[in-house]
A and B are shown apart, each in its own frame.
Chain A
Amino acid sequence: MKFIMKNSLINKYIYLIPLILLSGCYSQKVTPIYSLNSFFAGSLISYRDPKISQKYLITIVQYKGNLRMELIDLDRKKIIFLPGINSNKGNPISVSMSSNANKIAFIEEENGENYLFIYFRKNGFLRQINFDSKDVPMKLSLSASGKTLAIQVLRDGKTKIDIIQLDNYF
């Protein structure tokens, strides 16, 4: 009798076993943010390397063959003017920002050479970060705190990642 009871309990809850096993793995539908998606949809602009914080988006935009960086306030859905950041000579290839977008780090390619800059939005200052002549900066990530910078560097034929503490640098 006990055995029958046990069996019926197992049968009752057997479907839970795979659920328990798969409990760590979810395939879920996330909700698109239509208000933001519609703002960027349908334009002739091609976007590259978008990075977001809670309030801002920074991206490289390509329009009629020209590349430039654009900062967008996501709450107000407005492009923020960044005086002096987009030069006429160089093309941005990688961009990243702090969460308040007060610091923007970017790599620009000009005449086959790559240069790394930090832009301070509050005062419009642009500071270049120098590299050894053999090192080529290719891609970067600025922490949301704006204090640490990680740079993918081509060195001796291999890509490596250097770290710069910006608080000590400036």
Chain B
Amino acid sequence: MNLYKSIFFLLCILLSSCIASDYRIKDFSSNYSKNDPALSGNGEKLAFVIDKNGNKFVQLKDLRTGKVIPLRFLSRYKNNISPSLSWNGRYIAVISDIGGKRIVLIEDLLSGKFHRITQFRSLSPVSVSLAPDASKLVIQFDANGKRSFQFFDLTKILELDLSKNLKDR
């Protein structure tokens, strides 16, 4: 009887370890390096920067299907860093180096609109974080080694991207 019990427990342990191993998806996909991960608020989309021969392209992936979501505007820019996504992944914000000048770009995947935010005077953006509802943006700057940040209100240029679940808001 004790033997059966031990076998049963052993099976339970083996089964639980199989279930627990589902929680992690390891990336062995391509030869390219992937950097700067950013999840959408609902965790269904992942943005990252892919390094192809020194060019840094931003890519957006649907984690449910595994498919790459095309970016109409951002795919044209090849020096991107620090992507950030809104709750449903409707908006993607990145920092892009255009002719030696860093600016913030926001692509709206729903309406197809594209926004350039350039009003930083001599400050150089280092990272960007979009609030999940896309109401505001925080941009980190580097000024002679000292890093600071500034908040920007986006409600005049973007619609809110809210969770369908009220508890998440």
Nearest Cβ on chain B to A140's Cβ, whole angstroms = 7
- The B-contacting residues of A in range 30-70, CB under 8 angstroms, are 30-33, 36-37, 40-41, 46-54, 57, 59, 62
CB B63 to nearest CB in A, in angstroms, measures 7
- Interface presence of A27 (CB below 8 A): yes
Contact assessment for A143 and B127 in the assembled complex, using a CB-CB cutoff below 8 Å = no
Quick check: B116 and A159 within 8 Å, CB to CB? no
B147 engages A151 (CB within 8 Å): no
Name the B residues within 8 Å of A53 (CB-CB). 131-132
Is B42 touching A27 in the complex (CB atoms < 8 A)? no
A69 to B24, CA, bound (A): 26
Chain A residues touching B, range: 35 or more
Interface centre among B27, B35, B154 (most CB of A within 10 A): B27
Q: Please, what's the 1-or-0 string for A1-41, where 1 marks a CB less than 8 Å from any CB in chain B?
A: 00000000000000000000000111111111100110011
Point out which of A26, A30, A148 has the most chain B C-beta atoms below 10 A from its C-beta.
Answer: A30
B67 within 8 A of A: no
Q: Name the contact of B34 in the complex, choosing from A36, A144, A152 (C-beta under 8 A).
A: A152
Q: Is the CB of A31 within 8 A of B153?
A: yes
Tally chain B residues at the interface, Cβ within 8 Å.
63
The reply to whether the CB of A145 lies closer than 8 angstroms to some CB of chain B is yes
- Using Cβ atoms and an 8 Å threshold, which residues of chain A touch B127? 49-50
Q: Which of A80-88, A120-128, A160-168 contacts B (4 or more CB under 8 A)?
A: A160-168
A89 at the interface (CB under 8 A from B): no
Determine how close the nearest CB of chain B comes to the CB of A145; give it in whole angstroms: 5
* A143, B27: Cβ atoms closer than 8 Å: no
Q: Which residues of A contact B (CB under 8 A)?
A: 24-33, 36-37, 40-41, 46-54, 57, 59, 62, 99, 139-145, 147-153, 155, 158-166, 168-169
7 tightest CB-CB pairs across the interface, nearest first? Answer: A148-B43, A144-B41, A143-B43, A168-B23, A150-B37, A160-B27, A33-B151
Known: A160-B26, A162-B25; 15 extra A-B contacts, CB below 8 A, are A30-B137, A31-B152, A31-B153, A33-B136, A40-B149, A46-B147, A48-B147, A62-B147, A99-B41, A140-B37, A145-B42, A160-B34, A161-B27, A162-B27, A165-B23
Chain B positions within 8 Å of A, measured between CB atoms, are 19-20, 22-29, 31-43, 46, 48, 63, 72-73, 87, 112-119, 127, 129-133, 135-138, 140, 145-154, 156-157, 163, 168-169
